[in-house]
Structure 1
Amino acid sequence: MRTEYKVFGVVAAFLLLLAAMYRWWTGSGSPHPEGAGRLGLSGVLALLSTGYFRLFACRMPPRPEDTPDAEIADGAGPIGFFAPPGFWPFGPVLIAALLALDADRKLGAHAYDQPPVAGCRQGGLT
């Protein structure tokens, strides 16, 4: 787990630094202020993952991946418990798909259903 929290820590630092740079670069009068917020929240999410992996790295004994002198054979053996497969994800996905189709139907005309602009040629950019 030590490797994971280090990777997520680097990603979090990068995203938070990038959010600060983006905010500085665009200024306070930017027409798109949500970019810095999204980068900052992504950095906070990576920081949460860093804290989670760091917490469990302190509670667990080091794995073979965490020791620099480990051999490939050190990782042999049982990996852990895997839950049996089930069909429970099918229901929520079906409901989400039906809701998306219903929302699409209720929105009405799409952009492609609009009549062409007068003077524009159909079928190309030229």
Structure 2
Amino acid sequence: MSEDSPIQKEPRPIGRKAAKAKKAGNSSNHNSKFLEEIARQNAIRIEMEQKRHDMEVAIQAECAQEKEYLSKKDIEKTDRETMAMDTSHMSPETKQYWKLERRDVMRRRLFQDDGPSNTDWLNDQNH
């Protein structure tokens, strides 16, 4: 048949080999898209886990600061009570105990940043 024919012929159907080759090509394309989607989902999951971990670390740090603050407040309250203790009606042993407690409070207050090496002079007195 010539190309000048007014009757249009339908294209010939694909043969078995060509159909298999076309299907294999689509399958690899489909697989690559599937793998790309898995990689994208994994990246999103990792990002979300990192954000959750960062939030947990921030919450733990905030809780630690709050505990430290409350602990300091509790120590300050105890120290105030110790310093305000009236020992006039106590036995000599009890007075001695509260005297030592007051000295410990003073040692902590006077030398908060210097460390224990600067408190040796307190131990030499009244022994």
| Greater C-alpha radius of gyration | 2
TM class by shorter chain equals: under 0.3
Q: TM-score, normalised by structure 2?
A: 0.25
What TM-score comes out, normalization by structure 1 length?
A: 0.25
Greater percentage in helix: 2
